[in-house]
Chain A
Amino acid sequence: MKKQDNRSYDEFIKGIWRDNPVFVQVLGMCPMLAVTNSAINAIAMGMATFFVLVGSSFLVSSFRDWIPKQVRISCFIIIIATFVTVADYTLLALVPKVHKELGAFIPLIVANCMILGRQEAFSSRYPVRLAVLDAVGMAGGFLLALFSLGAIREILGDGALFGMKLFGDNFEPWVIMILPPGGFLTLGVILLFFNWFKLKKDEFLADVAEAERGG
């Protein structure tokens, strides 16, 4: 086992890039595409999911010794649903306009397979500190993914970022980007880049291995 510091850092950073829940694990798709038609919506959803994931992981990990295996999924769902309901009402009270934009997708955070998956795969088996770090990393990666998608779609589809116009009046926005097809296409293209990156990396590693064998 690595030293505690390295371990913590690793648990945290893996969610951001190496095991990014959206781009690598391809989880949490539904909210990904639906609320990323603008950067601010994407961030709001990312924060809500962050709250739910970290909170749930904290509780699940804290009580992991007490939850019998047979009912664990039900318990996870109860915990997650509670956090989601709290987030829902909090958003409705504090930022009603954002809540209206996100609409039904806030309650749908409950069905985000990423959150349930983390509880099952990680939080229920590891101590609180590691579980929370993992959650923060995953949620952070999710937030980054959401934001990049939202920013791209808003810039191309509306000519703005966070509502501020970036280009002049002559810019003809690519409206399809903020419509549903734009969501699919943008994510598809981003995954394409990830694939390309991975292919290049595999090629590089293969070259290195061959060089070592030959040399």
Chain B
Amino acid sequence: MTSGSHMETAGPGSLRLVLTLAIAGLISGIAIIGIYESTLPTITANKARELREAVFKVLPGVSQMQQLVFRDGELVAAEELAKDEQAVYGGYDPKGNFVGYAIPAAGPGFQDTIGLLYGFTPKDKLVLGMEVLESRETPGLGDKIYKDAEFVGGFSALSIEPEIVAVKKGTKARPNEIDTITGATISSKAVVRIINETHNEWSVRLPQPGAEPPLGETEPVDTGEGP
């Protein structure tokens, strides 16, 4: 059996040990930084594209968007977020007119956290769409919150005044009610609760209808194509 490593009788000195580790660390660092820098453009582009697609799904008719943060008491367009700052996204139609906000929300669902994005127009106080971004709900049951077209569709033109109410399937009567999914009531109600809670937080920060930040203060994210 060939053995590659050989034992020196005195053992390597501390300098040798430290040097070996340092060199290994250095080479490792270079390799990691290299891969990071070379993949950064692709990764950033992917993230931006995913976000764009989600925003366009929840705000129909939108083809441009920009990031908005609540800073110093008002909603302003911003490219960079400071720590602990949360963002919403403003959606604009091809002419640059404001259509609605896409607001990220998250909270506990049945199994684990559900992350979603919902579109909201302050003019009529309507939710325009809902897109689940992250979920670990039970496959075949809870995962219907994004697989059941009827449930997802129920979020277009859903009134949020005074809040969304989840009702038993088939009993939707008012504009702010939505049918839950049979067999996935808890997950459905979690989605509704998450949107209500997040909206309570954000509704006080949103400016009056008509006073939304106009497009163009930062670099608008434009696909070129429509939603």
Is A75 within 8 A of B2, CB to CB? no
Is B20 within 8 A of A75, CB to CB? yes
In the complex, whether B170 has a CB less than 8 A from a CB of chain A is: no
Chain B residues with CB under 8 Å of A127's CB are: 2, 4
Chain A residues with CB under 8 Å of B140's CB are: 173, 175
* Residues A86 and B35 in contact in the complex (CB < 8 Å), given A124-B5, A175-B140, A179-B138: yes
- The number of chain B residues touching the other chain, given as a range, is 20 to 34
Measured in the bound complex, the distance between the Cα atoms of B31 and A74 in whole Å is 17
Chain B residues with CB under 8 Å of A157's CB are: 139
A-B contacts counted at CB < 8 A amount to 81
* Residues A68 and B4 in contact in the complex (CB < 8 Å), given A175-B140, A179-B138: no
Is B39 within 8 A of A92, CB to CB? yes
- Select A92's contact among B7, B27, B43, beta carbons within 8 Å: B43
* Residues A126 and B20 in contact in the complex (CB < 8 Å), given A78-B28, A79-B28: no
Contact with B along A74-104 (1 / 0, CB 8 A): 1100110110011001101110100000000
Q: How far is the CB of B101 from chain A (nearest CB, A)?
A: 25
Is B25 within 8 A of A68, CB to CB? no
Measured in the bound complex, the distance between the Cα atoms of B50 and A89 in whole Å is 17
* Residues A86 and B31 in contact in the complex (CB < 8 Å), given A64-B5, A68-B17, A71-B21: yes
Contact with A along B19-62 (1 / 0, CB 8 A): 01100110110011001100100110010001000000000000
Measured in the bound complex, the distance between the Cα atoms of B11 and A33 in whole Å is 42
Is A75 within 8 A of B138, CB to CB? no
Measured in the bound complex, the distance between the Cα atoms of B1 and A108 in whole Å is 33
Instruction: Provide 12 A-B residue pairs closer than 8 Å at the C-beta atoms, listed in order of the A residue.
Output: A1-B1, A65-B4, A74-B21, A74-B24, A75-B24, A79-B28, A85-B35, A89-B39, A93-B42, A96-B43, A96-B50, A175-B138
